[in-house]
Structure formats: structure tokens, C-alpha cells
Amino acid sequence: MEYHVMLVEGNRLMLEQLAHAIKEAPGFTLAARYQDPMDALGQGVVFHPNLILLDIDQQSGTGILADFLRVFPNTAIICMGERWQSEVASHVVQSGARGYLVKPFSAEELREAVDTFGKSGMEVSSHTMAFFSPKGKSGKTTLIANLAMSLAQKTGEQVGIIDADLQFGDMSVFFNLDAKSTIVEASRDVDFLSPISLNNYFLPVTDKVKVLCGTQNPSLNDKVEIEPFVSVLNMSKNLFRYVLVDIPAGFNPTSIAACEATDTTYLVAMINGGYEIRHMQRALEIFKDWEDYKERVKAIYTRVTPCDIAAKLQIEELMGYPVEAIIPNEYLVVSEAADNGRMATDIQPDSQLSRSINKLADKIIGHKHIRWDKP
């Protein structure tokens, strides 16, 4: 697609710098440029732009945006600011802008921004999920990896995984990724990033699924501070329709922050005796401090045998709480997929494991008709 860009920037020197970047970007033509937004509103229609880059740093923010949306109702608008501000970005997107871009930017960053916002928009409808295990060894890494692939395949949307199990995260091993930049670097640099530059810290698994890998060494866990980590998570909402966060087992500052910052917390435990249900009950007691915990906290049990509606109902009765999903014990399927560098949902899509994960994906997407007693 060829973009005919109208640039509106109040600072003359910045106007020249951004105009140069637009001219250097393949597929972009600078149709018009203005310092005064009133001039752009009065004269810009004759240039028929299909993309407007609008500076809102020195204007009345959404007020000037509303004027441009009224005059250019069929034109994509990306707002610009000198630094990333989550609240401002959310506000302008909810008001009708296609995205929010930090200036100055290069020709490559402009192309990537338009491509990214064209695929996923920004955070208006992003859904974030934290996966928490009371004691570890729950199978949540396998669950997250396969669930991410299922969500991407079913929706065609962008899906991001953040490996925040800071000491023993193994998402990079699971996907066979060689990470040069990890959550350590992303958290360190977040004050200087925007969603577009943060995107480079995620490694692609497919064209729809990307992973922000965990620390390369357990000793680096203290390099990820809570506030920058939450900033990375919040910024990721602008890149992905679904964000899945793998967090450490047990209650610690990282897991607590992730649960509080996400829409849904999945408590994941592997059935291996009677203690797991008790551990889940004790974990649930802590989450009951949230007024809306019944909507936000959901239970998942893995390695359930037999994996049928009777087992689900029995677990619910013992736990005293609804169970969102049960996942069967199919170790051989998972091992075969891993040995072939693929996901279980790909290598054996008709297996009970794949069907269970796909059912969970459907529930997340919003298919209310799913029933766990159906194959």
C-alpha cells in the first residue's frame, strides 16, 4: 500500500527531521506538511492524505484530534509525542487514533509502526493473562506455549508471551530461541522505549506469535525491578491482541505485580495426588482480597486422568471453586512435538491434549458454547 502522508508538527526543526524520515521510507510519500494544525484542517483536504501524523504535544490533545477525525473521517491518524505516555496513548486511541508514535523516528520505525498498528491496532482491546502456579512443576510452560499458538491460529491476531519466571523460565528452550535481548534488557531500557522499539526485544516464533524471553541466568533475576517490568507489560498491550505472562511459582513481588496488572490470572496445578487442590485453595484465599476475584481468577488443572467431565466436576467439588479447564496427561505427545521443534496442537491436532487447549482458547476468545464433556 502506498501512503500519502500529511505531517502536522509544531516544532520547525522537528518538522524538518520527520519530513526527511517520511521521504526516506519506502512506500511513503509526503503529501503535505504543516506547523499550524488550523492550516492543515483548512487546506489539507485537497492533498487527499490516507495517513496523518499529528503532533499532540503542544495542542489540546484529543480536542485537536477530534477536529481532524471530523474533517478527515476516512483517513488513518497516528498521534505523535516526544515520550511514551501510556495514559495519553490509551486516550487518543480510544478517541479514534490508529496509534501513538514517539518522535523523532526513523524511516524504518515509521514503516514498522504503520505495519504494527495495521495488524493489531493498539491496546483498546488487548487481553492480558498471568499464569501462576502455587508450587511449580505445573505444566504451565507447555500450556502457555500451545495456548498462544492456538489463539493465533484461531483469531489471526498477534499474540505475545512474556517469560517473567525470572530464575527458571524456559520459554526460550521450549521454542528453541537464541535470545540476545531478554526481559532484563527490556526492563532496563523501558524508559527510553515505545511499543515499536519494544517490539524488537520480542523474538518471533511465527508471524503471529512472539516471545520476550526470560533471563539467561538465574542470578540475573534481581536485574528486573517491579516498576519497569510492569511498564514492559503495559506497553506490550499496544503490540498484541493477547499477552500471556509466565510468572514464578509462589507469591513474590514479580508474581503479585503480574497478577495485579493483568486482566485474568490462571491458577495452574498438576494433579499428582491430593496436595495440589489444597495448595490451590490456599492460593485462592489470597486472591479473595480482590472484590472481583471470581471474574479474574480461574483454575486450571493439568495431567488430569481420566480427563472428562466427571473428573472436572469432582475437582470442582473438592476445591469448592469452578474449574476453567482440565488438561490431560499426554507426555508423549508433548515430547514428540518438542523433539520436532513444534507444538502439540500442530503435530497431533486431534489429540485430547490439543482439543483441551483449543477449548480453552475458544473460551478466552469468547465462544460461550464450548462444553468440556464434548470431545
| Complete DSSP assignment for 215-237 | -SSGGGGGGS-HHHHHHHHHHHT
Q: For 232-279, how does the pLDDT look when each residue is reduced to its tens digit (9 = 90+)?
A: 998 898 889 999 999 988 888 989 999 999 999 999 998 876 688 888
Indicate the angle between helix axes 226-236 and 86-95, nearest 10 degrees: 20
Q: Which residues of 17-32 are buried (b: 16+ CB within 10 A; e: fewer)?
A: ebbebbeebeebebbb
What are 110's three cell numbers?
515509521
Where in the chain does DSSP place strands (E)?
Answer: 3-8, 28-34, 51-55, 76-81, 99-102, 127-132, 159-163, 203-204, 209-212, 242-246, 264-270, 297-304, 323-328
CATH 1.50.10.10 is the classification of domain 3-120:
no
Residue 340 has pLDDT above 60, yes or no: no
Determine the pLDDT at residue 99. 84
| Segments making up each domain of the chain, as ranges | 3-120, 126-365
Residue 375 has pLDDT above 50, yes or no: no
Residue 56 has pLDDT above 60, yes or no: yes
What is the mean pLDDT of the segment spanning 214-229?
A: 80
Determine the pLDDT at residue 63. 80
Q: 321: how many CB neighbours lie within 10 A of its CB?
A: 19
With a pLDDT cut of 70, the percent of the chain lying above it is: 87
Q: How far apart are CA 224 and CA 252, in angstroms?
A: 13
Q: CATH topology of 3-120 equal to that of 126-365? A: yes
Lowest mean per-residue pLDDT among 214-223, 248-257, 328-337: 328-337
What is the mean pLDDT of the segment spanning 291-317?
A: 92
Stronger pLDDT, 224 or 350, i.e. the higher one: 224
Q: 286: how many CB neighbours lie within 10 A of its CB?
A: 14
Whole-prediction pTM: 0.79
Residue 87 has pLDDT above 90, yes or no: no
Sign of the Cα pseudo-torsion (228, 232, 233, 237, in order): positive
| 368 pLDDT tier (thresholds 50, 70, 90) | very low
Burial class of residue 125 in the structure, from the number of CB atoms within 10 Å of its CB (0-12 exposed, 13-18 middle, 19+ buried): exposed
Determine the pLDDT at residue 4. 95
What is the mean pLDDT of the segment spanning 31-56?
A: 94
Q: Which helix (H) or strand (E) holds 35?
A: none
Residue 27 in 3-state DSSP? coil
Residue 367 has pLDDT above 70, yes or no: no
Indicate the angle between helix axes 12-24 and 107-120, nearest 10 degrees: 80
Burial class of residue 285 in the structure, from the number of CB atoms within 10 Å of its CB (0-12 exposed, 13-18 middle, 19+ buried): exposed
Q: Lay out the sheet containing 51-55: strands in order across.
A: 28-34, 3-8, 51-55, 76-81, 99-102
Q: Which of 236, 228, 238 shows the shortest CA–CA distance to 212?
A: 236
* 126-365 to CATH, choices 3.40.30.10, 3.40.50.720, 3.40.50.300, 3.30.9.10: 3.40.50.300
* Greatest CA separation for the chain: 73
Identify the residue whose cell numbers are 537464541.
178
